[in-house]
Structure 1
């Protein structure tokens, strides 16, 4: 199959900021960093990574399938442009709202993350680590990102195979932030451990602020793009 349709590339470009918003989610990154620094074994680390990918895929596929299952607006006598644009603006506003809420609750999130990740994650069973990673994806931010990806793919109106390729690339980008530290640990364990300790300390201070900023910026991009479709 050769993917050369403008709709595919336009949709993929629109998915990039959503994938980056998923990647710059500080709780999953903190989780994998804590497990790597704790040195409790790579089995727990991989359980967390698999849970992260599974949670992302579950949410994304559910919203994308739901969006594609909806009847085309034209088939029911409605203009497609304004409806898609309105859905994109709504998703963008929702992302901005979640980003603002994340920023306002940054102190509470920091305290909760310290107790949950650092005190319990290293001693949790493999199923518990996996389920914890999945639950992190099911928080409001993950749900809004899933909704946004569904809206973007629905707007692209691509064939099924192209939509699958776009979803896989989006998931790879969103999950890259938990995969890169693991790969780096295998490649250069000593150097990576020093880097991970510094990263862990930085995330504890600034992680929630970074996530809030990225969500707000991506939300603004969606709102602007949606307004341009009217």
Structure 2
């Protein structure tokens, strides 16, 4: 099944989107806050589960919507303009997200921690789960969901291959919360020191990272979409 060229082309386009999702400072910051708070791993697991659920919900919704688009013609050079247009639109939206994040980078550094971060460690487990899901519903997350749906649709793959590609994309996008969780179990003391350094780094550079990654992936999508016309 995975010998099909369309699968590997689609996966090659999804991996950068997954990395853009992984390099999102809001969910990483939330996880770091919970791990450093020492309020129990139940809340940490709830936050990670909410992150994965939110990513899956957004991605599956957009993939299902994109698959409803008219099928592209048999020749790759004549793929449907709806797919190309949607990819260009998603790319431009990501560029806008990146520009806005860049313009707000100084404001993000100077303001106090958002209320949801301050209350997260003391929130109930369901509230932590819902907070993590809501964090996924930020503009960048929605645009990445749209872009992933368009990429999967453009691949014109059978359903099993589409499911596999989406699962791999979700694994990459969620890796920024899954890997620290594994590290916290494997080496708690060393991970704690690393998390404190990460928290300080995110305060200074988190918004810049979001801006650069979102804009870069957006440009790639625009170029790829234009090539499909």
**Per the shorter chain, which TM-score range?**
over 0.9
Structure 1 position 227, deviation (Å): 1.8
Secondary structure of the equivalent of 2:70? coil
Structure 1 position 138, deviation (Å): 0.8
- TM-score normalised according to structure 1 size: 0.93
Residues 1:25 and 2:24 are matched in the alignment: yes
Secondary structure of the equivalent of 1:123? coil
Structure 1 position 118, deviation (Å): 4.1
- TM-score normalised according to structure 2 size: 0.94
User: Where in structure 2 are the equivalents of 1:191-202 lying within 5 Å?
Assistant: 191-202=190-201
Which position in structure 1 is the counterpart of 2:140?
141
- RMSD of the alignment, in Å? 1.7
User: Where in structure 2 are the equivalents of 1:28-39 lying within 5 Å?
Assistant: 28-39=27-38
Residues 1:160 and 2:163 are matched in the alignment: no
Q: CA 1:71–1:118 in 2, change beyond 3 Å: closer, same or farther?
A: closer
Structure 1 position 70, deviation (Å): 2.3
Question: Which of structure 1's runs of 4+ aligned residues deviate more than 6 A?
Answer: none
Secondary structure of the equivalent of 1:209? helix
Which position in structure 2 is the counterpart of 1:93?
92
Q: CA 1:73–1:112 in 2, change beyond 3 Å: closer, same or farther?
A: farther
Structure 2 gaps of 5+ residues are none
Structure 1 position 117, deviation (Å): 4.7
User: Where in structure 2 are the equivalents of 1:20-169 lying within 5 Å?
Assistant: 20-72=19-71, 74=73, 80-110=79-109, 114-169=113-168
Q: Is the CA contact (8 Å cut-off) linking 1:34 and 1:117 kept in structure 2?
A: no
Q: Is the CA contact (8 Å cut-off) linking 2:79 and 2:228 kept in structure 1?
A: no
